[in-house]
A and B are shown apart, each in its own frame.
Chain A
Amino acid sequence: MPYSILLSEICISAASKAWKDDGELLATGIGLIPRIAAGLAKLTCNPDLMMTDGETFLISKPLPMGKRDSSQDIVEGYMSYSRVFENLWGGQRHAMVTPTQIDAFGQTNISCIGDYDNPKVQLLGVRGFPGNFISHKNSIFIPNHSIKSFVQGEVDMVSGMGYNNYHSEAAKPHIASVITNLGVFDFNGPDHQLQLLSLHPGVSLEDVTVNTGFEISVKSEEETPLPSGEELALIREVLDPLSTRKIIFGE
């Protein structure tokens, strides 16, 4: 091994497991780590996943980071934005996204920070979050686990619904995995409380609790499994040969 295992690689390996039992769903990893993780899932724990070329076509092999010879893509199908909407409203997707804020209820925000009429920081807008979180499975990757991302109270502009405010069985969120720079979590604690599933190497439970703006439950304090040799080779040589993943944590 040319260098020791990086935190970004631990996160990618842990995040890839989110798609393990998804059958043929469309796997969408938005952002660097989720995108590499989705690709790793397709190459390891779930080869049946559908995946796009990052634009309009479904392709057979996951997209590597950086330039590629797209004439070598094996195109399977079509996935325009209009088609993505139809797919997601039918629940046929599992996306992994990075909200700016998330709260104890699993509500997420990518719209703006501060007062809505005069925001301190304008972000993207709610984009597809309202539709995504009510329609299909979502996982979350947070690179900077802190009380600014895991906020006390509620997020400033609820973009993706949480478990506190749903109307019926057919209109509730489904948040699968939550992966951060500190550990792996889900919202399957008592009453959909955020619960710790594993801590990354060198991270203590206290590191998590002081950096989370609300109470969590602890299912396990075991160490997050390290990526296997096969996973490392795929991440380093196939999916991210230019090592763009190192940017996320300044590695």
Chain B
Amino acid sequence: MNKVISHADVINQLSDGMTIGIGGWGARRKPMSLVRAICNSDLKNLTVVSYGGPDIGLLCAHKKIKKLIFGFVSLDMIPLDAHFRQARQNGELELMELDEGMVQWGLRAAAMKVSFLPTRVGMGTDVLKHNPEIKFITSPYSDGEQYVAMPALHLDVALLHVNKSDHKGNTQIVGPDPFFDEMFARAATKTYASSEEVVETADLGGKEGAIYNRFERSLVSGVIHAPGGAHPTSCAPNYGFDMEHLQEYSAAAKSFENYSNKYLNLSHQEYVEVIGGQNFVNAIPLPQF
């Protein structure tokens, strides 16, 4: 079994109109090399589910997103993403705007293969007004409570970035917060994980390492060796987020051409060279909040 594939192999597995979930959170551990590969491709009309950061902004700048299913888009230290804002303020995006917990609940429902999960979250808010497809359900028990029936969010594909993996698709997220990557993997028909390191199974760190294995390899269809693949987002403990780059990226909302000429339409290796090399990425300090 060898699941190690290239960025191009992943793109060949994707098609127009697909629903794609992107792991990570805000400006943290985003599979940016895969996102850039989508931006460099002819793919279009995607439905994207994300705890949004520059993945969403970059896809917006390339007009790849038809519909966004999300709770927020933020770059952490820079609270708002300029490209996402521009797309919204131009009325370009179809939205399913949800509470961030409802996103998890939708992915979890898909993961459990149930059609919905009950929650009170969303009640009394315009989330329900703007998503009329979300229905209420009454408890069949004596309490008679009303709940929001959060529908399953099925993904065709989940794209994740992890710290370590082997050729079988055993992955490890070593950073302190695995976010909701596991739910994305479980909600998806296929999951592709870019990885800082691809090692022999015997070198995954034994039992101690396996604690960081957040979901089974049977869920992983492909592993892409992409050191620095989360840049400019962080990938703890390997590297922090590149504030200077995120500022340059944000400023590019005014005129995208320079940024695009510099950083897009490159192979991942070429991209890493352009931003200053792997040693530069690995030296970006972890943020302190």
Contact = CB atoms under 8 A, between A and B. Distances in A.
A166 B123 contact: yes
A118 B124 contact: no
B88 A112 contact: yes
Given A82-B180, A89-B101, A128-B100, A122 B126 contact: no
B258 interface: no
Contacts of A127: 71-72, 99-100
B288 interface: yes
Contacts of A172: 124
B116 interface: no
A158 B72 contact: no
B146 A124 contact: no
B288 A130 contact: no
B146 A167 contact: yes
A159 B100 contact: no
Interface string A80-92: 1110010011000
A161 B178 contact: no
B206 to A, nearest CB: 22
A162 B180 CA distance: 29
Contacts, number: 131
B98 A170 contact: no
Contact of B99 (A55, A123, A131, A168): A131
A134 B123 contact: yes
Interface in A63-82: 63, 67-68, 70, 80-82
Given A117-B91, A122-B84, A126-B99, A134 B146 contact: no
A171 B71 contact: no
Interface residue tally of chain B, by bracket?
35 or more
A168 B145 contact: yes
Given A123-B80, A124-B80, A131-B100, A81 B180 contact: yes
Contacts of B129: 158
Contacts of B99: 126-131
A153 interface: no
Contacts of B122: 130
B215 interface: no
B246 to A, nearest CB: 16
Contacts of B80: 122-124
B123 A167 contact: yes
* Residue of B119, B126, B145, B146 with most partner-chain A CB within 10 A: B126
Nearest to A163: B124
13 contacts: A55-B177, A56-B176, A82-B179, A112-B88, A118-B91, A121-B85, A125-B72, A125-B73, A130-B101, A161-B123, A165-B124, A171-B120, A171-B145
Nearest first, the 4 A-B pairs at minimum CB distance are: A54-B289, A161-B124, A130-B99, A118-B91
Interface of A: 53-57, 63, 67-68, 70, 80-82, 85, 88-89, 111-112, 116-131, 133-135, 157-162, 165-168, 170-173
